[in-house]
Amino acid sequence: MATTARRVVRRPGGTSPVAGAWYCGLDPSLTGYGVVFYQPSTGEHRDITVKTDPVGPKEAPGVRMRALHGALLGLFSGFPDVDIVCMEKAAFAASGAYTGGICHAMTAFALIDAYEGKLAARPAMVVNSTLKKFVSGKGTGPKSAMMMHVLKKWGYEAPNDNLADAYGLARLAAALRSGSELKYESECIKTVLGNWQP
């Protein structure tokens, strides 16, 4: 199990109705799970990439999934003041949907273990096209373009596309509280809130 973490402090870029609250974006994957914690009141963010080590066919997927659960639980427990979590929704018919579904299940268990009784335990699931629209203004385009869009919009230099997605999701999570004056962002917020059952 390997995690890569960076601490970045940026200029304050907004306000949060929940003083001191963090917002979390999750881009689930076994090979490069992107996690970003963002605090609007200070503009600070933390980005972490979680990678699970491949195991032999006799141990998979149980060992890898338990390792993922443990790593996520450790991260979430380090941020007890998370208000809202946005997680990218798995594509229904994507290749690897079974593994993706288990990855989402391990995330759900870790969120419940860390935030039981809090809103953060029930993530808002965001389809990829909504995330792309929130970040770039349109819901189409290659995944790799997200790195360019988050840099252009917020000045965040994502080291990989998983963290670019997770950062966009963290900013969306904060916007679910604060709202937005941009029409396309407001449309995305409305879509997510309409599908979310906290």
* Better pLDDT: 167 or 62: 167
pLDDT band for position 7 (cuts 50, 70, 90): very low
Please report the DSSP string for 103-142 in residue order: HHHHHHHHHHHHHTTSGGGSPEEE-HHHHHHHHHSSS-S-
Chain center to CA of 170: 6
What pTM did the predictor assign? 0.86
Phi, psi of 48 (to 5 degrees): -135, 135
The enclosing domain of 138 has a CATH number of 3.30.420.10
Q: What percent of the chain has pLDDT over 90?
A: 65
pLDDT the model gives residue 76: 97
Structure tokens at 81: 């003041």
Mean pLDDT of 74-84: 96
pLDDT in tens, 37-71: 999 999 999 999 998 877 666 656 678 888 899 99
Please report the sign of the dihedral spanned by the C-alpha atoms of residue 189, residue 176, residue 144, residue 98: negative
What is the total count of domains within the chain? 1
d(CA 141, CA 148): 12
Domain that holds residue 108: 2-195
Mean pLDDT of the chain: 86
Residue 93 in 3-state DSSP? coil
Strands 22-27 and 33-39: antiparallel
pLDDT in tens, 80-106: 999 999 999 976 656 566 777 888 899
d(CA 91, CA 73): 24
